[in-house]
């Protein structure tokens, strides 16, 4: 596989990802599941990670193909697939780069959940990712993805100020304290952030601490429209949350539904 510059440590992320997501409830699961169920599948998930979105669908009987660049994340997805109920459908995990993959098939639904498009950290790489996603979308298919809304207050975050994300209680009485720091560069639109996980025992002693770099390139709504246009996609909805709220400057999320420009109406 071609050598790529890695600035995020996905071996460490694979260990901590499900803990961060167990705490946060971004409300995205119902949204993506509803879209996927309505289509009947098969579904392509780009950046499938630990299978958070894909696995429940595969358990229900749907056919899902998930690509991810990082073996460590795919291994956790495989382990998660073996736990709990057996799959009535299928989850095919493929190690591939969202910027240049070619599965030689098309899907009625292509999803890029959890702000994964922003992990492509230049305009060119984001366009490449959207282009590959569009190439795998059936002629009348639907693509869905979400990004965070670049709220001016957040962009002004002090890079030295650690803020609390969540506290997750552990069954043994201990807990995880999850915090973060943002460091936005307004010219490149890059956040060189860090998420910090501390595991505490029931007495509050720190058992371990892990700092996880997060590097993302944020996008404004008008940039998303323009990028979709450049890869032949028409944005059919752009909401401010997963329940179809209007997008405005108070939104946390940008939720996008798109289809091919020449899709049959
Ligand atoms: C935020 S996680 C999302 C995981 C999953 N979709 C979810 O919703 O929980 C982003 C995933 O994208 C993967 N990823 C990052 N860069 C990638 C790339 N260039 N190609 C494919 N996957 C990539 C990471 O390994 C990670 O699993």
Indicate whether 212 pLDDT > 70: yes
Atom index in ligand 1 nearest the CA of residue 32 equals 8
Q: Round the average pLDDT of the chain to a whole number and report it.
A: 94
CA of 7 to the centre of ligand 1 (A): 14
Residues whose beta carbon lies within 6 Å of some atom of ligand 1: 10, 45, 47-49, 52-53, 67-70, 73, 97-99, 113-114, 116, 119
CA of 254 to the centre of ligand 1 (A): 18
CA of 264 to the centre of ligand 1 (A): 31
Indicate whether 213 pLDDT > 60: yes
Grade residue 7 by pLDDT with cuts at 50, 70 and 90: confident
Pick the residue whose CA is nearest to atom 27 on ligand 1: 49
Q: What pLDDT was estimated at residue 220?
A: 98
Entry field: residues in the chain: 265
Distance CA 117, CA 146 (A): 8
Find the mean pLDDT for residues 179-199: 96
CA of 203 to the centre of ligand 1 (A): 35
To test the ligand 1 pocket, which listed residue (13, 16, 20, 69) has its Cβ within 8 A of the most ligand atoms? 69
Pick the residue whose CA is nearest to atom 13 on ligand 1: 47
Q: What pLDDT was estimated at residue 21?
A: 86
CA of 68 to the centre of ligand 1 (A): 6
To test the ligand 1 pocket, which listed residue (119, 195, 242) has its Cβ within 8 A of the most ligand atoms? 119
Q: What is the pLDDT of residues 23-46, one digit of tens each?
A: 776 789 999 999 999 999 999 999
Set out the domains of the chain in order of their start, with CATH numbers: 10-149+219-260 (3.40.50.150), 152-217 (2.20.25)
Indicate whether 264 pLDDT > 70: no
Q: What is the pLDDT of residues 80-109, one digit of tens each?
A: 999 978 889 999 999 999 999 999 999 999
Q: What is the pLDDT of residues 112-140, one digit of tens each?
A: 999 999 999 999 999 999 999 999 999 99
Q: What pLDDT was estimated at residue 3?
A: 39
Atom index in ligand 1 nearest the CA of residue 28 equals 8
The half-sphere exposure of 135 on its side-chain side, counting CA atoms within 13 A, is 14
To test the ligand 1 pocket, which listed residue (12, 56, 68, 95) has its Cβ within 8 A of the most ligand atoms? 68
Geometric angle at alpha carbon 96, from 94 and 101, rounded to 5°: 115
CA of 202 to the centre of ligand 1 (A): 33
Give the predicted TM-score (pTM) of the model. 0.95
Indicate whether 262 pLDDT > 90: no
Indicate whether 250 pLDDT > 80: yes
Q: What pLDDT was estimated at residue 2?
A: 44
Grade residue 222 by pLDDT with cuts at 50, 70 and 90: very high
CA of 129 to the centre of ligand 1 (A): 12
Q: What pLDDT was estimated at residue 265?
A: 59
Find the mean pLDDT for residues 63-80: 97
Q: What pLDDT was estimated at residue 134?
A: 98
């Amino acid at each position: 596989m071609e050598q790529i510059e890695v600035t995020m440590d996905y071996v460490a992320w694979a260990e901590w990802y499900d803990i961060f997501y167990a705490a946060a409830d971004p409300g995205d699961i119902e949204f993506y599941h509803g879209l996927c169920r309505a289509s009947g599948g098969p579904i392509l998930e780009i950046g499938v990670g630990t299978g958070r979105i894909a696995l429940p669908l595969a358990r229900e009987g749907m056919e899902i193909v998930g690509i991810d660049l990082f073996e460590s994340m795919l291994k956790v997805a495989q382990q998660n697939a073996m736990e709990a109920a057996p799959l009535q459908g299928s989850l095919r995990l493929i190690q591939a780069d969202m910027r240049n993959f070619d599965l030689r098939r098309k899907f009625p639904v292509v999803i890029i959940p959890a702000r994964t498009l922003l992990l492509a950290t230049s305009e060119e790489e984001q366009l490449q990712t959207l282009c590959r996603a569009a190439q795998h979308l059936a002629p009348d298919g639907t693509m869905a993805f979400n990004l965070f809304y670049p709220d001016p207050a957040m962009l002004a975050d002090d890079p030295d100020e650690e803020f609390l994300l969540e506290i997750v209680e552990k069954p043994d009485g201990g807990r995880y304290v999850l915090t973060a720091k943002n460091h936005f560069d307004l010219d490149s639109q890059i956040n060189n952030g860090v998420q910090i996980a501390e595991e505490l025992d029931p007495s509050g002693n720190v058992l371990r601490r892990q700092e996880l770099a997060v590097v993302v390139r944020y996008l404004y709504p008008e940039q998303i429209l323009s990028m979709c246009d450049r890869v032949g996609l028409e944005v059919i909805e752009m909401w401010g949350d997963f329940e179809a709220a209007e997008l405005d400057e108070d939104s946390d999320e940008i939720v996008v539904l798109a289809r091919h420009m020449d899709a049959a109406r």
